[in-house]
A = this chain, B = another copy of it.
Amino acid sequence: MRPTVHDIAAAAGVSLATVDRVLNQRPGVRHVTREKVENAIREIGYVRDVAAANLAKGRTYPLVFILPASDNSFMHGLNDEVRAAVARSPAERTDIRTIEVPAFDPTALVTVLDELCEERPSGIALVATDAPDVRDAVDRLVNDGIPVVTLVSDLTGSQRHHYAGVDNIAAGRTAARLLGRFLSSAKGEIAVLAGSMLVRDHRERLEGFAAVIAAEFPSLSILPVIEGRDDPEMAYMLVADALSKKSGIIGVYSLGAGNRGLIRALKEKAVDRSLTVIAHELTAHTRAALLDGTIDAILNQNAGHEVRSAIRVLKAKADGLAVIEAQERIRLDIFLKDNLP
């Protein structure tokens, strides 16, 4: 059986109360006694039974998720996952609240963050808009001792405790290599559809994509980025327009959301052309497009994993525990029509 506090007390030759004082860093223990206990803990390999501890403490973790109010499938999916986490709340001792803010709006985000400074929840997860004001607001929270993790998109230069999302530079590079190899030695132009260069994840994907295309696929040239604000309608118009005007396009990389619009544009304007298309985020729309051949590959981040990881990290930080970075790494999924879940 694993050792308990009683075993430590016996091993260290002190009382249960003293062990408790050491374990929970309460005052009133002499230095020598504290060391005796700590040695005993190490020697018999005691690890606190977290379940029992939480039971005794009756602790709950009030957490806040700040999500952009974007009308695209990915954000809806992210919302669903947070709701699923709320449903698991009783078992996980969490108490999760969601706040919606306008997308790509640093000011709104800062307002919300500053309000939370007062409320002092156990932890905050936010989809960051990458702006200095937001960074400062986050740093204020961090300095106030409130754990903060960025979700999906990171915040440059901030002191956030953790980023729960994929490596977007790697994602862009991967997209480039897939596109480049699928197109073999063909020569032509690549259209890139993004949401906004205001969010770091989109900027990084583009950066990685452009780097690999430039270095390894010189026969491909990248057209100026189309910013569709993750909005299906806007994406449709912009992409349809580009396809009409540019006849040299042989590939498309959609690195943001709003793929509904992209797919519609492709079906209307590119039926006769054999485009190679790579998109991000597996949704009902992109899945159908992958299956019918409109899209050739989908890069995906699993929103469920991201939400669960964010919660685990926030809880750990709230308790001052270490995070196993390797375990919290969010993988980049690559889907072809054959390995869809």
Contact = CB atoms under 8 A, between A and B. Distances in A.
A116 interface: no
A230 B101 CA distance: 54
Interface string A31-72: 000000000000000010111101100000000000000000
Interface in A255-310: 296
A333 B52 CA distance: 37
A28 interface: no
B338 A170 contact: yes
B177 A337 contact: yes
A187 to B, nearest CB: 14
Interface in A170-195: 170-171, 173-174, 176-178, 181-182, 184
A289 to B, nearest CB: 16
A49 B178 CA distance: 47
Interface string A308-341: 0000000000000000000001011110111101
Contact of A338 (B2, B184, B208): B208
A27 interface: no
A212 interface: yes
A90 interface: yes
Given A47-B90, A184-B184, A170 B339 contact: yes
A338 B173 contact: yes
A245 B49 CA distance: 62
A167 interface: yes
Contacts of A174: 336, 338-339
Contacts of A167: 339
Contacts of A171: 339
B50 A91 contact: yes
Contacts of A178: 336
Contact of A341 (B51, B55, B331): B331
Interface of A: 2, 47, 49-52, 54-55, 90-91, 167, 170-171, 173-174, 176-178, 181-182, 184, 208, 212, 296, 329, 331-334, 336-339, 341
26 contacts: A47-B90, A49-B55, A49-B91, A50-B91, A51-B51, A51-B54, A51-B55, A55-B55, A167-B339, A170-B338, A171-B339, A173-B338, A174-B338, A174-B339, A176-B338, A177-B336, A177-B337, A177-B338, A178-B336, A181-B182, A181-B296, A212-B338, A329-B341, A331-B331, A332-B339, A334-B339
